[in-house]
A = this chain, B = another copy of it.
Amino acid sequence: MSSRKEFRDLVPPEEAHEAIESLGLGGDTEEVPLREARRRVLAERVDATLDVPGFDRASMDGYAVRARDTFGAGEADPAFLELAGAVHAGEEPDVRIEEGTAAEISTGAVMPEGADAVVMVERTDERDGGEAVEIRTSLAPGDHVMLAGADVAAGERALGPGIRLTSREIGLLSALGVDEVPVRAKPRVGIVSTGDELVRPGEELHSERGQIYDVNSYTIATAVEEAGGEAVLYPHAGDDYDEMERILTEAAAECDLVLSSGSTSASAVDVIYRVIEERGELLLHGVAIKPGKPMLVGEFPDSAYVGLPGYPVSALMIFRHFVAGAIRRAAGVPEPPTATVGAEMAIEERYGEGRTRLMPVGLVGNGGRPLAYPVDKGSGATTSLVEADGIVEVDPDTAYLGAGESVTVTLFSPDVRPPTIFGVGEDDPLLSILLDDLDRPRYLAIGARQGRRRLAQGVPDFAVVTGEGGDTEATELGDWTREWGLVVPAGNPEGIEGLTDLVDRDLRFVNRPTDSGLRTALSEALDALADSRGESRTELIELIDGFELAARALESPARKVADGSADAGLGLRATAEKLDLGFVSLDEQRVRVLANADRLEKPGVEALREALENAPVELPGVGR
């Protein structure tokens, strides 16, 4: 473990930005078929090379005439013209309009020689069995004729460089007959994930060997595409120097930029470091930013290189902060106006490490500007990806952000849309069904106790709590009851009948954490049991094997029972039935949805209230 690199000389973030700009990404032009040009950026000006229309064109169904033959004509005194023929759209006229004659013409057809106006069919009458026509109006030359080049003329400027092509520009290019469009090439970005433990989603996972699914490859590939680049995934590289060199060299040969990502292991970083130094040049290693200290910037002979941190949220933040802009500029794509959001801090946040911090925040609508609240579950948590909406950059001199202070949030991607409603509190299966009816809700199942606390701080729109009391400030939106107890194996082979079995027998139990409303219910039941036995709760607890083994998630105790590693778990009837397990009922518990009293008018909250009123209750053990 002696070869580990220390990142002693951290450079300021500006130098990292400059180093990445110095890599000179992009600027190439490629031709793409018009049909595939949507959202691409025009690389060059396009001037018209032909007239549109390319001929004098009838713009009405009717008759092509010499205008002077209709001078003075009107309803009372129509002009009489002999029919010399007909011209349809898409045909070359085979008729010449001489004095006193006309030709039937359809919209879009070529004006026949000699004609200089079209009379609409409604102002005419056929005569002599279709051999002639009477014109009941007087025409001027050019009436209902679109002259060649009237729409666009050859040589005219049609579209300038830098335009991102939408339906309308593709329409104009179609009119000009352009079928290959010169557009800014998408920078090719190779993504090399490192780490022997990584498995691509869809492949079999061996947890016993410490395998985990590779999060960064697809996350960063998607983020590259969001920035206008083309992502190329390379196979995982382990910590082996030769393999890493082969994969990085291949990616560098094929791509404009190579991103390594995925490994949290120092030895893999060491190997990359050596490969870059030997096959290219390392421009900087280590940036004074949190997270992202171990960021690398370098170049291979024909490709740029950036090494991202291993933790998914850190990797995405560093990508978004340092790399996305360079890809966008290389692709000629402007940052959409939806990519940043002005917000105000929901709570105060202290920080004092003396380096720039990229702080992941969630957003919650609050009437005017949204509130931003810090999300920091540790950067190893992939759930932070969806619990935060973007990043606030906090500069090194800022030790304190006050509640209400203005901040700019760079969304994780321009397509991110913050939730319409944000709730916290107890996990519950009926709640989960209710949330399905809402538009992009965010719910953090942090337990009833934490839910109450956070609601009191005023950040979330609602909290889900259990039991009665408190919350004088909040407004109850609705409630239901749920049956809780002990989840046991199917058929209850141990014949467990209640809490006394846990206390008196040698059973392996799995509990929920103290923040959970279920745990509160269990504690109260134990108090009652202790009272009835004349013992203290502490004495009873000491007799329960696993009482302190608190599984964070609602179904986890039941799943421990299902996989045979426990005899009983604290849980709900609904969970037991869902997992085909047995259930020993202990009691019913009331679950209440409490709204932030300041947000009752918020559309998301109104939608939740409606969902609460209308949702059918079809879960085992759940009642209204």
In the complex, A59 has a CB within 8 A of chain B: yes
A198 vs chain B, min Cβ distance (A): 8
Query: What residues on B are CB-neighbors of A57 within 8 Å?
Result: 210, 212
A194 vs chain B, min Cβ distance (A): 10
CA distance A38 to B231 in the complex (A): 12
In the complex, A464 has a CB within 8 A of chain B: no
Query: What residues on B are CB-neighbors of A116 within 8 Å?
Result: none
Are A381 and B220 in touch, CB under 8 angstroms? Answer: no
In the complex, A32 has a CB within 8 A of chain B: no
A379 vs chain B, min Cβ distance (A): 10
Are B157 and A443 in touch, CB under 8 angstroms? Answer: yes
In the complex, A480 has a CB within 8 A of chain B: no
Query: Which residues of A in the span 139-179 have a Cβ within 8 Å of any Cβ on B?
Result: 146-164, 166-179
In the complex, A209 has a CB within 8 A of chain B: yes
CA distance A174 to B238 in the complex (A): 19
In the complex, A412 has a CB within 8 A of chain B: yes
In the complex, A472 has a CB within 8 A of chain B: no
Query: Which residues of A in the span 250-278 have a Cβ within 8 Å of any Cβ on B?
Result: 264-267
Are B559 and A440 in touch, CB under 8 angstroms? Answer: no
**Quick one: closest B residue to A195, CB to CB?**
B89
CA distance A265 to B91 in the complex (A): 13
**Quick one: closest B residue to A211, CB to CB?**
B90
CA distance A485 to B212 in the complex (A): 76
In the complex, A554 has a CB within 8 A of chain B: yes
CA distance A219 to B108 in the complex (A): 19
In the complex, A50 has a CB within 8 A of chain B: yes
Are B108 and A164 in touch, CB under 8 angstroms? Answer: no
Are A150 and B555 in touch, CB under 8 angstroms? Answer: no
Are A555 and B154 in touch, CB under 8 angstroms? Answer: yes
CA distance A38 to B170 in the complex (A): 23
**Quick one: closest B residue to A337, CB to CB?**
B338
Are A201 and B179 in touch, CB under 8 angstroms? Answer: yes
In the complex, A202 has a CB within 8 A of chain B: yes
| Given known A-B contacts A174-B213, A337-B338, A413 and B160 have beta carbons under 8 A apart | no
Are A210 and B89 in touch, CB under 8 angstroms? Answer: yes
* CB-based closest 8 A-B pairs: A179-B202, A155-B555, A54-B207, A153-B553, A90-B196, A90-B197, A171-B219, A110-B210
In the complex, A245 has a CB within 8 A of chain B: no
In the complex, A552 has a CB within 8 A of chain B: yes
CA distance A415 to B195 in the complex (A): 39
Are A214 and B382 in touch, CB under 8 angstroms? Answer: no
Query: What residues on B are CB-neighbors of A161 within 8 Å?
Result: 436
| Given known A-B contacts A91-B210, A212-B53, A202 and B177 have beta carbons under 8 A apart | yes
CA distance A57 to B381 in the complex (A): 12
**Quick one: closest B residue to A441, CB to CB?**
B160
CA distance A42 to B4 in the complex (A): 43
Query: What residues on B are CB-neighbors of A427 within 8 Å?
Result: 156
Q: How many residues of A contact B (CB 8 A)?
A: 137
For the complex, would chain A's binding face be called helix, strand, loop or mixed by DSSP majority?
Answer: loop
In the complex, A398 has a CB within 8 A of chain B: no
CA distance A309 to B193 in the complex (A): 52
In the complex, A228 has a CB within 8 A of chain B: no
Q: Which of B178, B206, B225, B385 contacts A201 (CB 8 A)?
A: B178
CA distance A6 to B481 in the complex (A): 64
Query: What residues on B are CB-neighbors of A110 within 8 Å?
Result: 207-210
**Quick one: closest B residue to A48, CB to CB?**
B553
20 residue pairs bridging A and B, Cβ less than 8 Å apart: A35-B221, A38-B226, A45-B436, A51-B556, A88-B265, A89-B195, A90-B209, A92-B210, A108-B210, A151-B383, A155-B575, A156-B555, A167-B219, A167-B222, A167-B226, A168-B412, A169-B386, A171-B216, A174-B218, A174-B219
In the complex, A564 has a CB within 8 A of chain B: no
- Beyond the given A91-B196, A167-B316, A171-B216, could you list 10 further A-B residue pairs with CB under 8 A, ordered by the A residue number? A38-B226, A90-B211, A110-B207, A153-B553, A153-B556, A162-B439, A171-B222, A174-B218, A175-B213, A177-B201
The residue among A54, A55, A382 with the most chain B CB atoms within 10 A of its own CB is A382
In the complex, A104 has a CB within 8 A of chain B: yes
Are A551 and B153 in touch, CB under 8 angstroms? Answer: yes
Query: Which residues of A in the span 491-542 have a Cβ within 8 Å of any Cβ on B?
Result: none
Query: What residues on B are CB-neighbors of A159 within 8 Å?
Result: 386
Query: What residues on B are CB-neighbors of A153 within 8 Å?
Result: 551-553, 555-556, 559
In the complex, A76 has a CB within 8 A of chain B: no
Are A554 and B155 in touch, CB under 8 angstroms? Answer: yes
Interface string of A364-407 (1 = CB under 8 A from B): 00000000000000101111011000000000000000000000
Q: Which of B108, B202, B316, B338 contacts A171 (CB 8 A)?
A: B316
Query: What residues on B are CB-neighbors of A59 within 8 Å?
Result: 378, 380
Are B91 and A38 in touch, CB under 8 angstroms? Answer: no
Interface string of A216-239 (1 = CB under 8 A from B): 111111110110000001000010
In the complex, A544 has a CB within 8 A of chain B: no
Q: Which of B39, B173, B178, B266 contacts A61 (CB 8 A)?
A: B266
CA distance A31 to B300 in the complex (A): 39
Are B559 and A154 in touch, CB under 8 angstroms? Answer: yes
CA distance A134 to B92 in the complex (A): 96
Query: What residues on B are CB-neighbors of A432 within 8 Å?
Result: 45, 47, 157
In the complex, A34 has a CB within 8 A of chain B: yes
In the complex, A307 has a CB within 8 A of chain B: no
Query: What residues on B are CB-neighbors of A225 within 8 Å?
Result: 38
In the complex, A594 has a CB within 8 A of chain B: no
The residue among A51, A167, A383, A558 with the most chain B CB atoms within 10 A of its own CB is A167
Are B177 and A416 in touch, CB under 8 angstroms? Answer: no
A191 vs chain B, min Cβ distance (A): 11
Are A166 and B108 in touch, CB under 8 angstroms? Answer: no
Are A554 and B156 in touch, CB under 8 angstroms? Answer: yes
CA distance A542 to B586 in the complex (A): 108
CA distance A152 to B386 in the complex (A): 12
